[in-house]
């Protein structure tokens, strides 16, 4: 985006050129260049889909109706009137920039990786339920273990992220190395997947996460660890409490834990 001061200066230069254009014959090459240059400036500052460019293009520099007896002075008079209209509109744009451009834009700030992931996790169980029913009873994916969760989540991650690395090797920790589930390379975020089962409840999930944190803190591409715990049977009695206990910065890594589905 062009800085406000530069945008104002560009528009003022186009306004200043109007006087010279008005000294030239009607629709001279000087006018054509000025008109095109001004369109480019407006589009660069405000964009091509706003009213600013349309307002400028709608200016008329010719007579709407005339006859063979219409004197040349009338054509020149209308041409100069069009240039004056252009001056007023461009001046209005300058005033708009000077008055309003310092206000915060009405745009949504980019979502963080953890926020995007939370949105996926919130809908994961709904997706699991939906894919159970396929047309003509065709084979589908039954999410029964942790590998099934990984397979489905991998597909969903590509909806939000461009560079998803699968099962990257981690540095050696406690005498051995292992693989992370997913690495979001651009976001420097590791995603770990866990699915509760009879021997993997709240305490075991917490213990595994502590090991993960110790392993990933030395990984050059990991500044954030996001753990998705899929608990469809509701084995974790206090999921929000466990999330609160484990979501924090540890060893320089931002750790976020999401236990889903909610409301069980």
pLDDT of residue 167: 67
Separation CA 27–CA 77 (nearest Å): 13
Cα 66 to Cα 108, 109, 171: the distances in Å are 52, 54, 83
pLDDT of residue 106: 46
Give the angle subtended at the CA of 190 by the CAs of 161 and 186, to the nearest 5°. Answer: 40
Fold of 113-260: Trna Endonuclease; Chain: A, domain 1 (3.40.1350)
pLDDT of residue 102: 61
Q: Domains of the chain: which residue ranges?
A: 4-100, 113-260
Adjacency order of strands within the sheet including 189-195: 164-166, 182-184, 189-195, 224-230, 253-260, 248-250
Q: Which two tokens stand for residue 17?
A: 């050129």
Note if the pTM is more than 0.85. no
pLDDT of residue 264: 55
pLDDT of residue 109: 56
Separation CA 134–CA 229 (nearest Å): 26
Strand-pair partners of 168: none
Separation CA 143–CA 109 (nearest Å): 34
pLDDT of residue 38: 95
CA trace torsion 246, 203, 165, 116 (10° rounding): -40
Separation CA 197–CA 177 (nearest Å): 25
Instruction: Per-residue pLDDT tens, the chain, 264 aa: give them.
Output: 678 889 999 999 999 999 999 998 888 999 999 999 999 999 999 988 889 999 999 999 988 777 788 888 888 899 999 999 999 999 999 999 988 766 554 455 567 888 899 999 999 999 999 998 888 888 888 899 999 999 999 999 999 999 999 866 655 444 445 677 899 988 999 999 999 999 888 889 888 888 877 778 777 778 899 999 999 999 999 999 999 998 988 877 889 999 999 865
């Amino acid at each position: 985006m062009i800085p406000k001061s530069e945008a104002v200066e560009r528009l003022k230069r186009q306004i200043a050129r109007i006087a010279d254009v008005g000294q030239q014959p009607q629709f001279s090459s000087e006018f054509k260049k000025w008109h095109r240059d001004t369109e480019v400036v407006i589009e660069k500052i405000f964009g091509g889909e706003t009213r600013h460019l349309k307002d400028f293009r709608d200016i008329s520099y010719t007579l709407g109706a005339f006859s063979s007896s219409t004197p040349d002075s009338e054509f020149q008079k209308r041409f100069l009137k069009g240039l004056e209209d252009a001056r007023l509109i461009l001046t209005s744009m300058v005033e708009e920039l000077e008055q309003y451009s310092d206000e915060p834009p009405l745009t949504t700030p980019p979502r963080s990786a953890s926020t995007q992931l939370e949105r996926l996790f919130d809908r994961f169980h709904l997706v699991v339920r939906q894919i159970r029913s396929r047309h003509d009873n065709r084979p589908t994916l039954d999410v029964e273990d942790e590998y099934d969760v990984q397979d489905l989540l991998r597909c969903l991650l590509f909806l939000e992220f461009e560079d998803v690395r699968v099962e990257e090797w981690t540095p050696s920790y406690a005498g051995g190395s292992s693989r992370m589930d997913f690495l979001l390379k651009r976001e420097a975020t590791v995603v770990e997947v866990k699915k509760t089962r009879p021997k993997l409840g709240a305490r075991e999930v917490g213990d595994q996460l502590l090991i993960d944190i110790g392993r990933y803190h030395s990984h050059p591409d990991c500044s954030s660890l996001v753990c998705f715990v899929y608990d469809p049977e509701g084995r974790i009695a206090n999921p929000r409490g466990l999330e609160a206990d484990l979501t924090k910065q540890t060893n320089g890594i931002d750790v976020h834990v999401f236990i889903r589905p909610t409301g069980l």
